[in-house]
Amino acid sequence: MVQKANSGHPGAPMGMADIATVLSSHLNLNPANDKWLNRDRLVFSGGHASALVYSLLHLWGFDVSLPDMREFRQFNSKTPGHPEYGHTHGVEITTGPLGQGIANAVGFAMAAKYAQNLLGKDVITHKVYCLCGDGDLQEGISYEACATAGHLGLDNLILIYDSNSITIEGDTSISWSENVKKRFQAANFEVLEIDGHNFDQIDKAIVTAKSCDKPVIIIATTSIGKGASTLEGSHHTHGAPLGEEEIRESKIKAGFNPDEKFVVPYDIKGAFDKLIKGVEAENAWKESLSQETKEKIKKLQNPDFDSIVYPEFEEGTSVATRASNHQILNAIAKAIPGFLGGSADLAPSNKTELKGLGDFPNGRNIHFGIKEHAMAAMTNAMNLYGLFRVFSATFFVFSDYLKPSARIAALASIPQHFIWTHDSIGVGEDGPTHQPIEHLSQFRALPNFYTFRPADATENVESWKVALKMKSPTAFVCSRQGLQVLKNERAYGNVENGGYLLKKEKVLQLR
Amino acid sequence: MVQKANSGHPGAPMGMADIATVLSSHLNLNPANDKWLNRDRLVFSGGHASALVYSLLHLWGFDVSLPDMREFRQFNSKTPGHPEYGHTHGVEITTGPLGQGIANAVGFAMAAKYAQNLLGKDVITHKVYCLCGDGDLQEGISYEACATAGHLGLDNLILIYDSNSITIEGDTSISWSENVKKRFQAANFEVLEIDGHNFDQIDKAIVTAKSCDKPVIIIATTSIGKGASTLEGSHHTHGAPLGEEEIRESKIKAGFNPDEKFVVPYDIKGAFDKLIKGVEAENAWKESLSQETKEKIKKLQNPDFDSIVYPEFEEGTSVATRASNHQILNAIAKAIPGFLGGSADLAPSNKTELKGLGDFPNGRNIHFGIKEHAMAAMTNAMNLYGLFRVFSATFFVFSDYLKPSARIAALASIPQHFIWTHDSIGVGEDGPTHQPIEHLSQFRALPNFYTFRPADATENVESWKVALKMKSPTAFVCSRQGLQVLKNERAYGNVENGGYLLKKEKVLQLR
């Protein structure tokens, strides 16, 4: 694929192929229904390993064909350079920028925990797997996400760390010399160490991880470009094609016909067909559900936003939009059982507490801690889980800390609601480090991202009515200070036009 | 101060006061010259502890008076809500957004290491101290920075962690349950644990840390709002005034006259005057320097940008601006010994290698690893160290990961050079996750931040001539693909006007 495209990353796919093969026998997936609620989630945090992702999706029976794979990294193909959610069948979430995928996996595991809380541990039994590399672990977002996973004791999360000791600039040791085992023990993970090319060790580690009572990281030592005849272990395999001759020699070494390209031997395809649980697994799960559970799931999957009783605000009174937003959040939560969220340790200031609804994972108030970036990436995944609508919150000025994940939400059309309060120099006396200036322009310049900055409490309500029905991320930029509730001449429903006439003025006649 | 301002944060300043008092006896500072090269650097990573910062600066003899402190958090005062570099005498760097300060401290320590390499370990003997809290440690940027400090073995770095177990939403344990000791051991730190209100333990820990051969974190258990008569230990002391009655009772408890405000007892001021080493320490250091060292320092402090011999590019040829930029970086490095930098593991793609100049800290190529956010914050501090001009590099799309630190560079007028290559959909086949779209608008909307996107190699040269003489951050947005070197009719020096006539066209006459 990489050679045909004449660009891309062969090293990681070859290095992780052994792990992926063994993992295939553990996954509960139904290629006929990529939205099956109790499927295992698999996140490839290093999106550059896309050649492996597409190969697996093909072998597992998703709608990725050999001709699709010939079109790898070509414009409009199903097989772009980094996997994209909503574009390729079976891709759980858009990763790409390093570290995002680990936080996404933690978010999927959090959503599954809350689903267990609502539906029962016997109903939601799946695991969340994440394949990641050195680059993912070096990014701060992965630290934040793993600290959260350890804190919440997510026993449904299994990270598999492809430790190949190679980065683009050379050996990992030129910039990183951490004791990864100790780091993850500090975060309350179970740590397993294996040879990532030993099938037996891989299998045993996954079996152990599946029954562990806390999150697990499997540190798998691998060779980048495994199987390349002369380049195995070299950083030259990371981001460029191996070359025709190297591929030819490698195929011969592996016992393949070097003249055949884009071929899956019949016995290999057959073996994978047997591994994948498929329709039968989903049907067995469905049959195990009570009628009550089925109805609960249906209600969560189809939230009735029209049932929300929104607050009303008296004309002429002064209401900060963070305060009106607080009333609205609570009104939504009251009507919609799958509506939850929280703040990066600013709930009292952001006014995001869902009153009387308890703390996550037993309740709906998520204490994200001071980890904005992971918060947004985890919330992206929670919104894609299939049952929940999840918001996140911080000061507007700290939206900078989570911008990379807001961008992914826009790219992948994830309907996360971002609550950003203290919207201007009205933040008060904290000074310029806490005053957003360029942020409004910044997010309005981001395609497929919808930034609402309501002028008053009433417009805040109208904005939410629009936002809840959108399939894209939305941001609510709210004031700390009181804003006068304007005279209510406007017609409701006009917010979705983007602009409307609040009050008629004399029209100036231009000559 | 907080009560007078009727807003602000009393809890952290009161909780860290004991540590700060003992630390005062260790610091080598000269309030008469806040630019003394061999002074100890002290970074307050939690900028909300500003009431403590200003109190200390006053006690140490910097230009912060009692009347200045009465104006705490007021418009145009010397004592804003969060400390700002260039605004208040003695403030080493603008912190504020959590986590930045830890990365800044690592940056100062890196700069000191390189200064030792150029000038000798007997010349640069100072330490870098950083006071930080739970919030700083939860942020991913602090993980990235500390991983870097441990990797580089920065034996001149001493973090003091104010562990008060309190965050805004309540007890730290609602969102964080990490083994901090183990985390820092994993990152190759020496970890010391003390009672942060026991003077003897604080002193002994600092003495131990000063002679340690690797970076040190002192975990100091403290009570937030220490000394508050009824609120000590409560999260209510974090971000709001204690109230007149609580302050009155607390003063009585501490043996102060409750009717006196903004008073430093004579004996206390006298004791601090004796602690501070001051002019004598700087003079002794100066006298120890050889003439050669003095000249080296002078040359580093006053780089002669006019001595750079820039490359020239032939009209009509095709040159990617990342390639022309590579030649320019090497031309600058050849002429300016204090010019250094590196990439977040993309040097071969960003084309930032300084050829033949070795690897940091022995040479000038910094391998930052896949840690964009810490890279930018560390580089901010390296640029403020007083000797160096430092650049950082990544793909333009990943500028999102470091935006918070770019913003601080703009606020604090730090002349960091940001190299951002792969500037558009011309990034190639990596797909939309790697294609910058909104980023140009985003950074052009940021005040005091200068974004150059040269049209060709020649304009790239002219842009650098302008950028090197600016006192603000500058970004170079460079192409991956070749760009034609345009016909060279333009007058040099016009780039600094922001726009110029490249080629005359017929002027359209509007009726």
pLDDT above 80 for B151: yes
Q: Report the interhelical angle of B266-275 vs B50-60 (nearest 10°).
A: 80
Q: What confidence category does residue B131 fall into, taking pLDDT thresholds of 50, 70 and 90?
A: very high
Least confidently predicted of A171-180, A332-341, B178-187, B332-341: A171-180
Q: How far apart are CA A500 and CA B5, in angstroms?
A: 41
Chain B neighbors of A408, CB-CB under 8 A: 433
Q: Which of B136, B400, B422, B441 best tests the A interface by mutation, with the highest count of A CBs <10 A?
A: B400
Q: Residue A91 in contact with residue A129, Cβ under 8 Å?
A: no
Amino acid, single-letter form, for residue A501: L
pLDDT tens for each residue of B337-358: 999 999 999 999 999 999 999 9
* Greatest extent of chain B over all pairs of C-alpha atoms, in Å: 84
Residue B382 is predicted with a pLDDT of: 98
Q: If DSSP states are collapsed to H, E and C, what string results for B224-256?
A: CCCCCCCCCCCHHHCCCCCCHHHHHHHHHHHCC
Of the candidates A33, A491, A31, A443, the residue with the CA atom closest to the CA atom of residue A273: A31
pLDDT at A489 (0 to 100):
62
pLDDT band at B82 (very low <50, low <70, confident <90, very high): very high
pLDDT in tens, A326-341: 999 999 999 999 999 9
Please state whether the peptide bond connecting residue A361 to the residue before it is cis, i.e. omega within 30 degrees of 0.
yes
Of the candidates B260, B9, B265, B39, the residue with the CA atom closest to the CA atom of residue B133: B9
Whole-angstrom distance between the N-terminal and C-terminal Cα of chain B?
Answer: 64
> Which ipTM value was assigned to this complex?
0.96
CB contact (8 A) between residue A346 and residue B169: yes
pLDDT tens digits, residue range A77-132?
Answer: 999 999 999 999 999 999 989 999 999 999 999 999 999 999 999 999 999 999 99
Report which residue type is found at A121.
Answer: K
- Does residue A506 have a pLDDT over 80? no
Give residue B493's pLDDT band: very low, low, confident or very high (50, 70, 90): low
Contacts of A47 in chain B (CB under 8 A): 433
Q: Choose the closest CB to A345 out of B148, B169, B401.
A: B169
Rounded CA separation A41/A154 (Å)? 14
Residue A496 vs residue B22, higher pLDDT: B22
Structure tokens at B313: 């590019």
Tell me the C-alpha distance between A8 and A55, whole Å: 14
- Residue from A48, A84, A144, A169 whose CB has the most chain B CBs within 10 Å, to mutate: A169
What's the gap between Cα B2 and its chain centre?
A: 26
Strand partners, B222: none
Contact by Cβ (8 Å): B421, B349: yes
Question: Is it the case that residue A165 has pLDDT exceeding 70?
Answer: yes
Provide the 3-class DSSP secondary structure of residue B193: strand
Provide the CA B180 distance to its chain's centre, in angstroms.
23
User: A450-452 and A474-478: which strand pairing?
Assistant: parallel
Give the separation between CA B242 and CA B236, rounded to whole angstroms. Answer: 8
pLDDT tens profile B447-468: 999 999 999 999 999 999 999 9
If pLDDT is split at 50, 70 and 90, which confidence band does B499 have?
A: confident
Q: A429, B186: Cβ pair inside 8 Å?
A: no
Average pLDDT in chain B: 95
Q: Measured between beta carbons, which residues in chain A are less than 8 angstroms from residue B370?
A: 98, 134-135, 138-139, 167, 175
Q: Which of A117, A103, A119 is nearest to A37 (CA)?
A: A119
Q: B141 with B373: CB under 8 angstroms?
A: yes
Residue B492: per-residue pLDDT: 54
Once rounded to an integer, what is the mean pLDDT over residues A471-498? 84
* pLDDT per position as a tens digit, B20-36: 999 999 999 999 999 99
Confidence of residue B491 (pLDDT cuts 50, 70, 90): low
pLDDT band at B490 (very low <50, low <70, confident <90, very high): low
Greater pLDDT, A108 or B502: A108
Query: What is the band of A508 on the pLDDT scale with cuts at 50, 70, 90?
Result: confident
Report the alpha-carbon distance of residue A438 to residue A273 in Å, rounded: 53
pLDDT given for residue B351 in this prediction: 98
At residue B500 the predicted structure's pLDDT band, cuts being 50, 70 and 90, is: confident
d(CA B15, CA B9): 11
Burial of B147 (0-12, 13-18, 19+ CB in 10 A): buried
Which residues does A207 contact at the CB level (< 8 Å), separation at least 6? none
Which pLDDT tens digit goes with each residue over A396-436?
999 999 999 999 999 999 999 999 999 998 887 888 999 99
CB contact under 8 A, A151 and B398: no
**Among candidates A208, A170, A163, A167, which has minimal Cα distance to A190?**
A208
In sequence order, which residues have a C-beta less than 8 Å from that of residue A471 and are 6 or more positions away?
A413, A415
Residue B300 pLDDT exceeds 80? yes
Name the average pLDDT for chain A: 95
Q: Which of B100, B137, B139 to mutate to test the interface with A (most CBs of A within 10 A)?
A: B139
Q: Which of A175, A226, A167, A216 is nearest to A196 (CA)?
A: A226
Cβ contact B224:B11 at 8 Å: yes
Q: Residue B410 has what pLDDT? A: 98
Whether pLDDT at A492 is above 60 = no
Q: Which residues in A lie closer than 8 A to residue B74 (C-beta atoms)? A: 429
Active centre residues of A (catalytic) = 372
pLDDT score of A488: 64
b/e A21-39 (16+ beta carbons within 10 angstroms → b)? bbbbebbbbbbeeeebbbb
A68, pLDDT greater than 80: yes
Q: What is the pLDDT of residue A6?
A: 93
Q: Which of A48, A140, A169 sits opposite B374 (nearest CB)?
A: A140
Q: List the catalytic residue out of B139, B372, B459, B462.
A: B372
Dist. CA A117–CA B154, nearest whole Å? 46
> B20 near B226, Cβ under 8 Å?
no
Over residues A344-369, the pLDDT tens digits come to 999 999 999 999 999 999 999 999 99
pLDDT digits (tens, 9 = 90+) for B398-430: 999 999 999 999 999 999 999 999 999 888 788
**CA contacts within 13 A on the Cβ side of B28:** 17
CA A334 to chain centre: 26
